[in-house]
Structure 1
Amino acid sequence: MNASKRQAIFERLCAANPHPTTELEYRNAFELLIAVILSAQATDRGVNIATRKLFAAANTPEGILRLGEAGLRQHIRTIGLFNSKAKNIMATCEALVERHGGEVPDRREALEALPGVGRKTANVVLNTAFGYPTMAVDTHIYRVANRTGIAKGKTVREVEDRLMRWVPRAFLQDAHHWLILHGRYVCTARKPRCGACPIYDFCEFKDKARYADEAPSAG
Structure 2
Amino acid sequence: MPVKNMTKKQIQIFFERLREQRPDPKTELNYSSPFELLVAVTLSAQATDISVNKATDKLFPVANTPESIYALGVEGLKDYIKTIGLYNSKAENVIKACKMLIEKHNSEVPNNRIDLEALPGVGRKTANVVLNTAFGMPTMAVDTHIFRVGNRTGLAVGKNVLEVEQRLIKVIPKEFIVDAHHWLILHGRYCCIARKPKCGECVVSDVCNWPDKYEFGATREITAKTLNN
Question: What residue number does 1:78 align with?
Answer: 83
- DSSP 3-state at the match of 1:57: coil
**Is 2:156 aligned against 1:151?**
yes
Contact 2:56 2:80 in 1 (8 A): yes
**Is 2:168 aligned against 1:163?**
yes
Question: What residue number does 1:99 align with?
Answer: 104
- DSSP 3-state at the match of 1:191: coil
1:90-132 Cα distance to aligned partner (Å, 9 max, x none): 0000000011010100010000000000000000000000010
Q: 1:173 aligns with which of 167, 171, 178?
A: 178
Q: 1:53 to 1:215 in 2, by over 3 A?
A: farther
Q: CA deviation at 1:216?
A: 9.9
Matches within 5 A, 1:1-150: 1-150=6-155
Residue type of the alignment partner of 2:129 = V
Q: 1:191 aligns with which of 184, 190, 196?
A: 196
Q: Distance in 1 between matches of 2:130 and 2:71?
A: 24
Q: 1:216 to 1:149 in 2, by over 3 A?
A: closer
Q: Distance in 2 between matches of 1:166 and 1:201?
A: 19
Residue type of the alignment partner of 1:8 = I
TM-score by length of 2: 0.93
Q: Distance in 2 between matches of 1:98 and 1:198?
A: 48
RMSD: 1.5
TM-score by length of 1: 0.97
Q: CA deviation at 1:167?
A: 0.4
Contact 1:32 1:125 in 2 (8 A): yes
Q: Distance in 2 between matches of 1:217 and 1:63?
A: 54
Instruction: Could you tell me which runs of 5 or more consecutive residues in structure 2 were left unpaired when the two chains were aligned.
Output: 1-5
Q: CA deviation at 1:68?
A: 1.2
Q: CA deviation at 1:12?
A: 0.4
User: Identity of counterpart residues, as a percentage?
Assistant: 60
The higher-RCO structure (CA 8 Å, 6+ apart) is 2
Q: Distance in 1 between matches of 2:209 and 2:221?
A: 15
Contact 1:198 1:216 in 2 (8 A): no
Q: CA deviation at 1:21?
A: 0.8
Q: Distance in 2 between matches of 1:148 and 1:61?
A: 41
Q: Distance in 2 between matches of 1:57 and 1:73?
A: 14
